[in-house]
Amino acid sequence: MWLYLLKRVVLGVAVIAIAEAFLLLMIHAVPGDPAVALLGPQATPEFRAQLHQQMGLDKPLVVQIVTFFGGLLRGNLGFDVFSQRPVADVVFEQLPYTIELILVSILWAVAVAVPLGCYSAMRRNSMIDQAVGIVAVATIAIPSFVMAVSALLIFAVMLGWLPAIGAGTGFADRVIHLILPAFAMGIGWVGYISRLVRASMLEILGENHIRMARSFGLSEWRIVTGYALPLAILPTVTIIGVGIAWLLSSAVFIEVVFARPGIGALIVNAVRARNYPVVMGGALVTTFLIVTATTMSDLINAALDPRAREEL
Amino acid sequence: MATVQANRAEANGEQGPGTFLSFLRQMSKNRLGVLGALLVVLVFASAIFAPLIITHDPIRIMVGPRLAAPSLDFLLGTDQLGRDTFSRIIMGGRIPLLVAFASLGISLALGLVLGLVAGFGPRWLDNVLLLIFDTIRSFPSIIFALAVIGLLGPSVTSIIFVIATTSIPIYARVARTQTEALRNSEYIAAEQSMGAGTTRILAVHVLPNVIGPLIILVSMDVPAVIAVQAGLSFLGLGVRPPTPDWGAVLNDGYNYIKNTPWLAIAGGIPIILATLGFTFLGEALRDIFDPKLGKDL
């Protein structure tokens, strides 16, 4: 187990390092000068040189990579020339909004999907089970930004029930502003998790200890909630780790559609403005989050199922 | 020898004549699969015959009033520049399909080769390739796409590059697992003992067994690619205006959502139909050919 843990952590660090090095290389490989892109073609050479120096672009590539990773170890993600602030400050200021959105989305999705999955498994091939199955596949397939624009159009613009944009101020207002974004982001997960719970529930309901419980005359409800669900929920726990990556990707779109602050919106705006230090910093922090989440879920998986440790 | 051939063909799911008929029979029982196939045909037909279907020039501005509601003249209304939305939607299906086929074709070919190499090659090479696959796989593809497009600039080529790069490891890993399983099988050992070279074994004996599951996986990835392409266009990081494209129309609709709902609806519906169609079709194909596939991915 300890060896497995060590391997996973080393792999995680390697992933982050390779990804960042790749992005740094790309910045170099691309024709054109980031400083020109930032300042526009009319900038004086002196001004450009000054910016080069500020961004560290006047030094050789190897020095830049070493400086970047050296800075990382000290928690320094670089300097945002636009806002004249450290990139770390800019990124971490936006992070809580994204985490809040992801947590609320996954919580409501799990809360709805688990009972739905259990019900589908208990009434297998009933009308409701089949309907849930079709809707689940549909909600998984439809992209989150289409879902978001549809929700915005129906509930904010046409019906006027909920606010369309922003994150709100004060607790109640923030909760109200979270409803639509969290709905658009979580709906696909309701479908996915309910199918997952249904599948593992069906598998477990066929096992010996459940037949044993049945022969003791326990009610179907007791069997499902008391004996089957604790086992059937395990794949969901591990998939949520992978889900963080998914949700971070949809957060990019959800934050743009609902004009919410957050790390996804930050990266999109930085890409549009060609603000490389912020793109790099944002990509680094999101990669870190995803690698951490997937590593954690793999570790939980390995702790529960020793066979998983063999792979790698 | 003939029986060996026949057995292998059976294992591959090629049951000789009548296979296509039995496929059609199974397919027609799967109602969602039929719906998916119809939607896919609709999407392809409208993209291929687009120039014959459109009612106006999709990029000419002010062919009608701005932001008009649907009418007989403008079937889905007009956008903020007075362009015909229906014509833009019909023409706009070409880019998503082009991106999907180009990027998935590239990643299928490269993933297959890398997977065969990793599965059949020496142990150290397998480990190196696996590390690279896992690195790319654990990198969030949208964030990667944004970073690369931020650098290369928005274009169809950048999108194809990004999608191909992020999909190769997925196919390569599947191909590798299948190859590794075949590597130790008896008929491969028999081939080796008869003096067949590695290239011959890979091309003639391993490849036909590996490619089937991969093609099903690719068909199941088409909706995801369409979603990424439309999403990037929606963010203004896809095609350059005035090129018609579903994501771009949806973005116009989003920007003018307070003025008219029609533009947003017109931009969203084709994306929904296309992703649903390819999803239903892909799931049906998987259920018919390889029910176990994709469950452990």
Distance from CA of B158 to the nearest CA of A (A): 12
Which pLDDT value is given to residue A207? Answer: 80
Q: What is the pLDDT of residue A243?
A: 79
**What pLDDT sits at residue A55?**
66
Residue A255: which pLDDT band, with cuts at 50, 70 and 90?
very high
CA A197 to centroid of chain Cα atoms: 21
What CATH number belongs to A95-311? 1.10.3720.10
Alpha carbons B231 and A14: distance in angstroms, whole number: 29
* Chain A touched by B264 (CB under 8 Å): yes
Residue with tokens 């051939």: B5
CA B15 to chain centre: 27
In angstroms, the separation between the Cα of residue A179 and the nearest Cα of chain B is 19
Full-model pTM:
0.82
Q: In this complex, do A253 and B234 lie within 8 Å of one another by their Cβ atoms?
A: yes
pLDDT digits (tens, 9 = 90+) for A128-174: 888 888 888 888 888 889 999 998 888 888 887 887 777 777 777 78
Closest Cα of chain B to A215: distance in Å? 32
Percent of chain B with pLDDT over 90: 19
Q: Which of A173, A142, A113 is nearest to A250 (CA)?
A: A142
Share of chain A above pLDDT 90, in %: 9
Any A CB within 8 A of B32 CB:
yes
Which residue is listed with tokens 């999803």? B279
Contact B248, B238 (CB under 8 A): yes
Q: Which residue of A has its CA nearest to B283?
A: A137
CA distance to partner chain B, nearest, from residue A77 (Å): 16
Asked if A26 lies within 8 A of B227 by C-beta distance, the reply is: no
At B213, list the tokens: 């599951």
Residue B265 has pLDDT above 80, yes or no: yes
Question: What residue ranges do the domains of chain B occupy?
Answer: 34-93+248-297, 94-243
Which two tokens mark A46?
Answer: 């002196």
Q: What is the pLDDT of residue B15?
A: 47
**Quick one: closest CA in A to B132, which residue?**
A15
Least confident of A7-21, A133-147, A196-210, B233-247: A7-21
Question: What is d(CA B248, CA B264) in angstroms, rounded to the nearest whole number?
Answer: 10
What single letter denotes the amino acid at residue B48? Answer: I
Any idea which of A5-19, A62-76, A286-300, B263-277 has the lowest mean pLDDT?
A: A62-76
For the segment A56-71, the average pLDDT, to the nearest whole number, is: 72
From chain A residues 249-268, the ones with a CB under 8 A of any chain B CB are: 249, 252-253, 256-257, 267-268
Q: What percent of chain A has pLDDT over 70?
A: 88
Average pLDDT over residues A5-28: 78
pLDDT at position B258 over 90: no
CB distance B144–A271 less than 8 Å? no
A21 has a pLDDT exceeding 90: no
Residue of A nearest to B280 (CA): A137
Residue in A10, A142, A266, A275 to test binding to B, most B beta-carbons within 10 Å: A142
Residue A1 above 80 pLDDT? no
- Verify whether the Cβ–Cβ distance B268 to A294 is below 8 Å: no
Nearest Cα to Cα of residue B233 among B106, B89, B101: B89
DSSP conformation letters of chain B: -HHHHHHHHHHTT--STTHHHHHHHHHHH-HHHHHHHHHHHHHHHHHHTHHHH-SS-TT-TTSS-TTPPP-SSSTT-B-TTS-BHHHHHHHTTHHHHHHHHHHHHHHHHHHHHHHHHHHHS-HHHHHHHHHHHHHHHTS-HHHHHHHHHHHH-S-HHHHHHHHHHHHHHHHHHHHHHHHHHHHTSHHHHHHHHTT--HHHIIIIIIHHHHHHHHHHHHHHHHHHHHHHHHHHHHTT-SSPTTS--HHHHHHHHHHTTTT-SHHHHHHHHHHHHHHHHHHHHHHHHHHHH-TTTTTT-
pLDDT band at A127 (very low <50, low <70, confident <90, very high): confident
Does the structure show a pLDDT above 80 at A98?
A: yes
Question: What is the pLDDT, as a whole number, of residue A35?
Answer: 65
Residues 33 to 72 of B: which have CB under 8 A from any A CB?
A: none
User: Residues 105 to 134 of A: which have CB under 8 A from any B CB?
Assistant: 134
Alpha carbon distances (Å) from B240 to A121, B144, B231: 48, 20, 14
* Class of B94-243 in CATH: mainly alpha
Q: Tens of pLDDT along B122-158?
A: 888 888 888 888 777 767 778 788 878 877 778 888 8
B17 to chain A, closest Cα gap in Å: 33
Structure confidence at residue B10 (pLDDT) = 45
Cβ contact B150–A276 (<8 Å): yes
Q: What is the pLDDT of residue B136?
A: 78
Give A280's contacts in chain B (Cβ within 8 Å).
147
Cβ(B111)–Cβ(B169) below 8 Å: yes
A23–B279 C-beta distance less than 8 A: no
Burial class (CB in 10 A: 0-12, 13-18, 19+), A22: middle
What lies within 8 Å, CB to CB, of A94 at 6+ separation is: A261, A262, A263, A265, A266
As a whole number, the mean pLDDT across chain A is: 80
Is the torsion defined by CA of B252, B254, B260, B262 positive or negative? Answer: positive
Sign of CA dihedral A232, A234, A237, A241: negative
Residues of chain A neighbouring B235 (CB-CB closer than 8 A):
252-253, 256, 268
The overall average pLDDT reported for chain B is: 82
Residue-wise pLDDT tens digits, B110-120: 999 999 888 88
Interface contact A137-B134, CB threshold 8 A = no
The closest alpha carbon to B53, from B78, B24, B86, B27, belongs to B86
Residue B220: name the closest of B269, B293, B160, B133 by CA.
B293
- Token readout for A73 is 């170890």
Q: Which tens digits make up the pLDDT trace of A261-312?
A: 999 899 888 888 777 778 888 888 888 888 888 788 777 777 766 665 655 4
pLDDT category at B18 given cuts 50, 70, 90 is low
Please give the pLDDT value at position A303: 74
| A256, A274, A287: residue with CB nearest B150 | A274
Residues of A in contact with B229 (CB under 8 A): none
Pick B143's closest partner by Cβ from A142, A256, A286. Answer: A286
Q: What is the model's pLDDT at position B292?
A: 61
Report how far residue A282's alpha carbon sits from residue B147's, in angstroms, rounded to the nearest whole number. Answer: 9
Q: A298 versus B35: which is more confidently predicted? A: B35
Q: What is the pLDDT of residue B65?
A: 80
**Cβ contact (<8 Å) for A249 and B142?**
yes
Binary contact (A141, B140; C-beta < 8 A): no
| B36: closest chain A residue by CA | A138
Cβ atoms of A101 and A179 within 8 Å: the answer is no
Residue that wins the pLDDT comparison between A31 and B220: B220
Stretch A174-185: mean pLDDT: 88
In 3D, which of B140, B247, B137 has the Cα closest to residue A264? B140
pLDDT at B71 over 60: yes
The pLDDT, as a whole number, for residue B69 is: 79
Q: Residue A122 pLDDT > 90, yes or no?
A: no
Query: Quick check: A275 and A80 in contact, CB under 8 A?
Result: yes
More confident residue, B196 or B43: B43
Q: What angle do CA A207, A213, A219 make, to 5 degrees?
A: 115
